[in-house]
Amino acid sequence: MRSRTETRARARALQLLYAWEMQGEPEVSGVVDRLLQFGRGRCAGEVEAEALARAVVSRRPELDQAIADAVEGWRLDRIGVVERNVLRLGLLELQDGRVPPRVAIDEGIRLARWFGGEKAPAFVNGVLDQLARRAGCL
């Protein structure tokens, strides 16, 4: 079972990715510095959050292509910023294999519930489940 610190790290990574995308995709460290200026300082799991965000940014083209292939009939830019970044984080964790596939999917659903729209958890569940099956994780 994953600790609450890891869940907070994922939530913070999602916030970093959201800010990164909304700011025009600058260097991730600049986004971190700006968020620290306006936030409460470093939270538990901050280092892990930054590492997750950096990994998503560095692998974004491959992550986006896999997501686009899984959401037939949807253009990636039509998916909400929160949901798109939850999917990127979830797929990154599925591909890295550091956490069990069910944990990656469940954490994605949790983030979608916390930060996304009403239909986000079901959407994220369906897409991450399909991505996990395609990757042979489930």
Predicted confidence (pLDDT) per residue in 65-88, tens digit:
999 999 988 889 899 999 999 999
What's CA 114's distance to the chain center, in Å? Answer: 13
For residue 138, give Cα distances in angstroms to 45, 90, 121. Answer: 28, 14, 19
Separation of alpha carbons 38 and 106, rounded Å:
30
Q: What is the pLDDT of residue 31?
A: 63
Tell me the one-letter amino acid at 97: G
Q: ∠ CA 72-17-21 to the nearest 5 degrees?
A: 75
Q: How many CA atoms lie within 13 A of 107 on its CB side?
A: 29
Walk along the chain (138 residues) in steps of 10 and give the mean pLDDT of each run: 77 90 69 60 71 92 95 88 97 94 96 95 96 88
Q: Which CATH number fits domain 4-134: 1.10.940.10, 2.40.30.10, 3.30.1360.30, 1.10.150.170?
A: 1.10.940.10
Q: What is the pLDDT of residue 72?
A: 82
Q: What is the pLDDT of residue 47?
A: 79
- What's the whole-model pTM score? 0.87
Separation of alpha carbons 89 and 83, rounded Å:
10
